[in-house]
């Protein structure tokens, strides 16, 4: 422990705070993810191409793309193996999001029945979700309505019928329903779809790569509507619809004299309670000699509490170990998804406590404080008190907090965006945006989403690509770890508009920002939240398409995951292409071993849904590719 020796690092991040902490890790002999990446090199070529199969115990089998063998022991060829592996990856992503939304649903159920200490803060969202589900609202209390919403969601999870998922039907346009129905990809009960896809990909079932690719699209919709959409709708009901907040981002948000508590993972039921009790127990921290309690966020937990509470962001995926390496974090609390198993090893080199909170997300050397909706207040207090106790053990000699941080605005829900635009046209809030797109002041819009990936220099592809888009008057919205990335370099500020936006885009951002009372331009990148909040981007696209009377596939828009790593990013991307959106990925997914799958995903798919993948590791070419697509869509619309 703390005795790792490694060679020199070159070029891992463009984030000066991260670079400073990597240097500190080297000095203190603490191993980081980049060291382990070096140890993995060279990574397996078969795995990289997606042509390794372990779906039965006769394997592993692998296909040689340049010669023999061309088939696995059972006769599966490269196309089949790649298509099966891809569907399993998307199942992994969809299952993560659907389970996330199910956990939120459980919390809402307990809260609405008065069994869990969560106020339903999103009264407006209760009404809008009830309305879209066709639940009559008149004369009913928020709690009664929430219970009906819970029943509607549970009906999807227990559905035995062949009817498509209710939540999906309630959310999308009739045009999309029809298109997906024709393709045979409308999902039914989401749990059943996940089971069926695991079955379909097991040894000796589906031998048709095309059929498997269609199931992949269906699984993208499972993610989109039982994961992202249901998750966001329910979280907004529980914790409130986000509205604009100003905060700060990067490791410099950690405090020298306060108890630092980092929330990491994805579940706002945990992170919101941590924030609440950190505020309530501040007096105890002061008694213990600290100046207070400072909560900061990593990954999507960070995004959730930024969006609704203005909590600062400590860092994105690749910065999670580095936060501990500052020596100033008393406690890091995780729930599910995206926390590295290495955290406890890094924490052992400092005084940092690692707390796990869910039965499925445990780390052997962490403290396990099992949170449930019912006991969340008690467990959050226990967690905060553990952090306060750890403060006394902070070793001043080991503390080095980078000074880097940037101002960052967040909270751009669709409701916020519409509210800001309504200051220009109260009756028709989307009209000013559409008018500016038609006039060419806004060339189009790109949703930049997803992760960091150790295969790419941290934040570099995201930042370089977004610079090009903004300079060419493309509006950018962001979620997930790319939102963190852009936050760190000032893209989420009014000043960022002046620095990065093209002249025409700047004029539009200024007009909207001033009308909305911000006293300056809107940020050129609108932070729309966590990865489940990608549903907000879907809602916005649906609203724009509906307003114009066209399909989403006809809009001058694109999506991009420049540094994706997680299976969830692949399933979200698949949902986006099913919606008809050109979706760029900046890290090559393991599909190139199948010419057929590659051709369908990057070409033929367009004929089916209107969307397809653009694979490009050069950020400038990626921006160019998306802008070429946007220009073509404008031309087709006659604008
Ligand atoms: O769900 S962006 S590294 S934190 S997977 Fe994970 Fe990727 Fe970050 Fe959020 Ni999303
Ligand atoms: Fe090999 Fe076929 Fe078994 Fe896969 S399913 S491991 S290709 S025999």
pLDDT in tens, 274-333: 999 999 999 999 999 999 999 999 999 999 999 999 999 999 999 999 999 999 999 999
Give per-residue pLDDT as tens, 51-76.
999 999 999 999 999 999 999 999 99
Query: What ligand 2 atom has the least distance to the C-alpha of 76?
Result: 7
Please tell me whether residues 198 and 259 are part of one structural domain: no
**4 pLDDT above the threshold of 70:** no
Q: Residue 602 carries which DSSP code?
A: I
Domain-embedded: residue 435: yes
Please tell me whether residues 152 and 257 are part of one structural domain: no
Ligand 2 site, residue 82, Cβ cutoff 6 A: no
**377 pLDDT above the threshold of 90:** yes
Please tell me whether residues 269 and 391 are part of one structural domain: yes
Ligand 2 site, residue 203, Cβ cutoff 6 A: yes
Of the pLDDT bands very low, low, confident and very high (cuts 50, 70, 90), residue 200 is very high
Model pTM score: 0.97
Give per-residue pLDDT as tens, 581-622.
999 999 999 999 999 999 999 999 999 999 999 999 999 999
Please tell me whether residues 160 and 74 are part of one structural domain: yes
Q: Which two tokens stand for residue 366?
A: 């962490």
Please tell me whether residues 79 and 135 are part of one structural domain: yes
The CA distance from 406 to 409, in Å, is: 10
| CA-only gyration radius of the chain, Å | 24
Counting DSSP H helices and E strands in the chain, the numbers are 28, 16
Please tell me whether residues 410 and 547 are part of one structural domain: yes
Looking at 359, 375, 398, which one is the last position of a domain? Answer: 398
Domain-embedded: residue 10: no
Domain-embedded: residue 246: no
**What's the pLDDT score for residue 194?**
98
Looking at 377, 398, 419, which one is the last position of a domain? Answer: 398
Please tell me whether residues 371 and 422 are part of one structural domain: no
Point out the ligand nearest to the CA of residue 71.
2
**What's the pLDDT score for residue 11?**
82
Q: Is the dihedral of CA 124, 127, 133, 134 positive or negative?
A: negative
Ligand 2 site, residue 56, Cβ cutoff 6 A: yes
H-helix or E-strand containing 441? none
Mean pLDDT for 245-271 is 98
C-alpha 339 to ligand 1 mean position (Å): 10
| Count of structural domains within the chain | 3
Largest CA distance in the chain: 71
Please tell me whether residues 595 and 474 are part of one structural domain: yes
Residue with tokens 């199969």, as numbered in its chain: 53
Please tell me whether residues 380 and 430 are part of one structural domain: no
**3 pLDDT above the threshold of 80:** no
**1 pLDDT above the threshold of 60:** no
C-alpha 451 to ligand 1 mean position (Å): 5
What are the residues facing 409 on neighbouring strands? Answer: 246
What stretches of 532-601 show up as alpha helix (H) in DSSP?
534-548, 567-579, 595-599
Domain-embedded: residue 460: yes
Residue with tokens 């057929």, as numbered in its chain: 596
**What's the pLDDT score for residue 95?**
98
- Residue with CA closest to ligand 1 atom 3: 451
Please tell me whether residues 100 and 206 are part of one structural domain: yes
Q: Which two tokens stand for residue 558?
A: 């694109």
C-alpha 178 to ligand 1 mean position (Å): 31
Please tell me whether residues 175 and 217 are part of one structural domain: yes
**What's the pLDDT score for residue 120?**
98
Q: Which domain holds residue 461?
A: 406-637
C-alpha 500 to ligand 1 mean position (Å): 25
| Strand stretches in 271-352, DSSP E | 293-298, 313-315, 331-334
What are the residues whose beta carbons fall under 8 Å from the beta carbon of 88, sequence distance 6 or more?
Answer: 197, 198, 201
Q: Domain of 256: which CATH number?
A: 3.40.50.2030
Domain-embedded: residue 45: no
Give per-residue pLDDT as tens, 504-561.
999 999 999 999 888 899 999 999 999 999 999 999 999 999 999 999 999 999 999 9
Of the pLDDT bands very low, low, confident and very high (cuts 50, 70, 90), residue 9 is low
Domain-embedded: residue 54: no
Please tell me whether residues 321 and 422 are part of one structural domain: no
Looking at 185, 205, 239, which one is the last position of a domain? Answer: 239
Nearest CA to 528 among 156, 243, 276?
Answer: 243
**What's the pLDDT score for residue 87?**
98
Domain-embedded: residue 6: no
Angle, CA of 614, 492 and 503, to the nearest 5° = 75
- Mean pLDDT over each residue of the chain, to the nearest integer: 97
């Amino acid at each position: 422990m703390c005795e790792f020796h490694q060679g020199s690092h070159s070029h891992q991040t463009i984030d000066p705070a991260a670079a400073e902490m990597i240097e500190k890790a080297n000095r203190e002999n603490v191993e980081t993810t980049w060291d382990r990446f070096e140890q993995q090199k060279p990574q397996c070529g078969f795995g990289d191409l997606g042509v390794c199969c372990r779906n039965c115990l006769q394997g592993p089998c692998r296909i040689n793309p340049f010669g023999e063998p061309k088939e696995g022991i059972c006769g599966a060829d490269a196309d089949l193996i790649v298509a099966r592996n891809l569907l399993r990856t998307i199942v992994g992503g969809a299952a993560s999001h659907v389970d996330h939304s199910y956990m939120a649903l459980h919390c809402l159920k307990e809260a609405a029945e008065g069994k869990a200490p969560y106020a339903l803060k999103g009264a407006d969202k209760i009404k809008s979700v009830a309305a879209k589900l066709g639940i009559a609202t008149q004369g009913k209390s928020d709690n009664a309505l929430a219970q009906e919403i819970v029943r509607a969601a549970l009906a999807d999870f227990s559905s035995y019928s062949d009817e498509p998922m209710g939540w999906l039907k309630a959310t999308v346009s009739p045009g999309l329903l029809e298109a997906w129905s024709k393709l045979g990809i409308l999902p039914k009960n989401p749990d059943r779809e996940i089971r069926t896809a695991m079955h379909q990909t097991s040894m000796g079932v589906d031998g048709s790569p095309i059929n498997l690719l269609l199931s992949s699209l269906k699984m993208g919709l499972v993610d989109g509507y039982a994961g992202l959409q249901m998750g966001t709708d329910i979280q907004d009901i529980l914790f409130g619809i986000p509205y604009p907040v100003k905060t700060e981002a990067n490791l410099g948000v950690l405090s020298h004299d306060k108890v630092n508590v980092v929330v990491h993972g994805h579940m706002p039921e945990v992170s919101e309670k941590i924030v609440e009790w950190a505020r309530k127990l501040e007096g105890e921290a002061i008694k213990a000699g600290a100046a207070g309690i400072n909560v900061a966020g990593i990954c999507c937990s960070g995004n959730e509490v930024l969006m609704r509470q203005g909590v600062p962001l400590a860092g994105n995926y690749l910065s999670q170990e580095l936060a501990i390496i500052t020596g100033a974090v008393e406690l890091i609390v995780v729930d599910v998804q995206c926390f590295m198993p290495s955290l406890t090893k890094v924490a052992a080199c400092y005084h940092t406590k690692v707390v796990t909170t869910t039965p499925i997300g445990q780390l052997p050397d962490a403290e396990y404080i099992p949170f449930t909706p019912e006991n969340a207040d008690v467990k959050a207090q226990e967690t905060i008190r553990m952090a306060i106790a750890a403060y006394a053990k902070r070793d001043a000699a080991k503390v080095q907090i980078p000074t880097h941080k940037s101002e960052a605005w967040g909270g751009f829900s669709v409701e916020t965006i519409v509210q800001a635009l309504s200051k220009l046209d109260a009756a028709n809030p989307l009209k000013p945006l559409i008018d500016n797109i038609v006039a060419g002041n806004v060339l189009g819009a790109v949703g930049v989403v997803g992760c960091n990936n150790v295969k790419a220099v941290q934040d570099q592809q995201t930042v370089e690509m977004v610079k090009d888009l903004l300079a060419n008057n493309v509006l950018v919205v962001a979620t997930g770890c790319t939102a963190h990335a852009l936050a760190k370099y000032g893209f989420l500020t009014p000043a960022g508009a002046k620095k990065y936006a093209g002249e025409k885009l700047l004029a539009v951002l200024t007009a909207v920002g001033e009308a909305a009372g911000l006293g300056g331009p809107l940020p050129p990148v609108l932070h729309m939240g966590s990865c489940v909040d990608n549903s907000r981007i879907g809602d916005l696209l649906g609203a724009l398409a509906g307003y114009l009377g066209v399909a989403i596939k006809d809009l001058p828009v694109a999506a991009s995951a420049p540094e994706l790593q997680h299976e969830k990013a692949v399933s979200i991307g698949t949902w986006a292409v099913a919606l008809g959106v050109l979706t760029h990925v900046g890290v090559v997914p393991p599909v190139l071993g199948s010419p057929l799958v590659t051709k369908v995903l990057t070409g033929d798919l367009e004929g089916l849904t209107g969307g397809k993948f653009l694979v490009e590791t050069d950020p400038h070419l990626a921006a160019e590719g998306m802008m070429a697509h946007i220009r073509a869509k404008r031309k087709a619309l006659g604008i």
